[in-house]
Amino acid sequence: MPERLKGKTAIVFGAGSSGPGWGNGKAAAVLYAREGAKVACIDLSAEAAEETAHIITEEGGEAIAVSADVTKLDSINAAVGKTVDAFGPIGVLHNNVGVTHMGGPVELDEAQFQQSIDLNIGSVYRTSKSVIPHMLKAGSGAIVNISSLAGIRWTGYPYFAYYATKAAVNQATVAIAMQYARQGIRANCVMPGMIDTPLIYKQISSQYASTEEMVAARNAAIPGGKMGDAWDIAYAALFLASDEAKFVTGVCLPVDGGQSCTVMGPR
């Protein structure tokens, strides 16, 4: 059994899936456990967190499920406390929480814009605020933030707040990496491109006449002709979380099938 994270505790925010199948956070949590980590599966939905933790324990791994709201620091602190109590020092912080609201600055209402800030970049701030002191005490740690290709380029969708907040996640990751490099903490982010997860059927499909049209358009945007899946993101995150990436920090890694090298979005 591979053991790239043996002896480490990983806390995964957004470890549940928004529907049947594999979301990015769910896949990462399970893969971390398969590689030897003890995993705290954190999600707003207790049921979703428990489903992921159950998969891990059924496979012989160690996991706990905790419900937490990443827009509230007290809730995050409580989840971090439960993780430390259960498994000891946190070696890996994985941030996978986010929301997509369609609309430019004219169409988007202020409540949706504020929610995008609170969830997409606010979650990274709050979880880092809570977890980094533990990593500083231990003298080591790896942070993996899930950003988006939208953080660096137009992807074809009119989601102003998503572009802005994911760009913020990228630069926040760099800021953390540089500030804490001498303290043994690394921070990197993964920028997914077109990934076939349950979330796109809830938050992206409204831009198309049918889900079939959405899938076809997103597949066509990829040079190889097919979207990626949650495991593509999970394996990239695993590398960045592991000691194999001990000399990698401040990186924003596209996992997009080459889409960032093209000029067209999925329209």
Measured distance CA(70)–CA(235) in Å, rounded:
24
More confident residue, 5 or 208: 5
Domain boundaries, the chain: 9-199+230-253
Mean pLDDT of the chain: 95
Mean of pLDDT values over 241-245: 98
32 is catalytic: no
The model's pTM: 0.95
CATH entry, 9-199+230-253, from 3.90.1480.20, 3.40.50.720, 3.40.50.970, 3.40.640.10: 3.40.50.720
Residue 263 pLDDT > 80: no
Residue 63 pLDDT > 60: yes
H/E segment holding residue 25: helix 24-34
Q: What is the DSSP string of 130-179?
A: HHHHHHHHHT-EEEEEE--GGGTS--SS-BHHHHHHHHHHHHHHHHHHHH
Closest CA to 160 of 87, 216, 106: 106
Active-site residue identified among 32, 125, 162, 163: 162
